[in-house]
Amino acid sequence: MAPAVLIEKLQKRYGKVEAVKDVSFQVEPGEIFGLLGPNGAGKTTTIRCICTLATPDAGKIEVSSINAIANPKAARQKLGYVAQEVALDKVLTGRELLQLQAALYHIPGKFAKERIDKMISSLGLQEYADQKTGTYSGGIRKRLDLAAGLLHKPDVLVLDEPTVGLDIESRVVMWDILRQLRDAGTTVLLTSHYLEEVDALASSVAIIDKGVVIAAGTPSELKDRVGGDRITLRIREFCPLEEAEKAKDMLKSFPFVQEAIINVAQGNSLNLVVTPQSDALITIQQALQAAGLPTFGIAQSRPSLDDVYLAATGRTLMDAELAAAGSRDPKAERKQNMK
């Protein structure tokens, strides 16, 4: 069976900025696929290219076996797109907005009414459909935006940060809706920088950083590649780099320590990959004490997607988010989004 979405060696530049350098992945029919990475990694640019809202500089894009670059109109008929920012006309009711969306899709009147009624029912909008959208909460606005993207029965639903800004309850509701869509046969491609969201929903994941895919596979495969358990260790609350390096060199000599990384962005803490064993924490603490080094904090856990990102880049996803926030140029972002 052909992939629902196929991306090969995608590249996109905005002036001097390489938003996407080399992105390749494929999404299988009927799955939820997660594109994970920090803000500024190239996720939104990638899906804008997939949805024919931006033209790539190089690469290949196929949607349901249609060349989206050569035949964007045909590709759009197979796609539903829900952007990160919800754009609703506040003076329209939810039902009126869906009627407008149906007209834009050229959906025949009788069929449009059936689809609108079905979307309102499926997404739990009965109570709100005839109220003006300006009165909606963030979660209800997201659901209405999702309904608009599903009106024409797309093969592939593309969601850019579908739960950003939502409270926990609204996020859980959205997760349940996406699982129901998947179970009904809709292919879902979503971007997110929420680790738990991708882990909970996606059967396949591509992790993107600085415009390049750095890891791809199922969440279980990616975690298994990291290998072993994770130990996070802080010598002191604010540890000098020399002291962290001394601890790192000592701990790397232990046969159960597979890898040791100093996380400079988090106060020179140490992130260890270890062969699972019950006495790892005690052994490490005793060795540090013998070397005259204190233990401010230590914890052991199974690998996570953040560990995958850390192993590939040397920093956590949160570190990347903070770095991106510090270097972000709002004016440049606005210009980019207008192109």
pLDDT in tens, the chain (339 residues): 799 999 999 999 999 999 999 999 999 999 999 999 888 899 999 999 999 999 999 999 999 999 999 999 999 999 999 988 877 888 999 999 999 999 998 999 889 999 999 999 999 999 999 999 999 998 999 999 999 999 999 999 999 998 888 888 888 989 999 999 999 999 999 998 888 899 899 999 999 999 999 999 999 888 888 778 889 999 998 899 999 999 999 999 999 998 899 988 888 999 998 987 778 899 999 999 999 999 999 998 888 888 888 878 877 777 777 776 766 555 554 555 555
Cross-strand partners of 12: 20
Angstrom CA distances, 144 to 125, 158, 220, 332, stand at: 8, 15, 33, 30
**Cβ contacts of residue 214 below 8 Å, gap of 6+?**
207, 208, 309, 312, 313
Residue ranges of alpha helices (H) inside the chain are: 43-50, 72-76, 94-104, 109-122, 138-150, 168-183, 195-201, 219-226, 241-251, 280-290, 305-313, 317-327, 330-338
CATH topology of domain 228-302: Alpha-Beta Plaits (3.30.70)
Locate CATH 3.30.70.100 in the chain.
Answer: 228-302
| Cβ neighbours, 10 Å, residue 184 | 9
**Tokens linked to 323:** 């770095």
- Per-residue pLDDT, 87: 75
CA distance 19 to 151: 31
CA 107 – CA 57 distance, rounded (Å): 33
d(CA 327, CA 301): 32
- And the tokens for 42? 């190239």
pLDDT for the residue numbered 329: 55
Indicate where the chain has its CATH 3.40.50.300 domain(s): 5-223
Pairing between β-strand 32-36 and β-strand 187-192 as defined by DSSP bridges: parallel
For residue 202, give both structure tokens.
Answer: 């996606």
- CATH architecture for segment(s) 5-223: 3-Layer(aba) Sandwich (3.40)
- Provide the whole-model pTM: 0.78
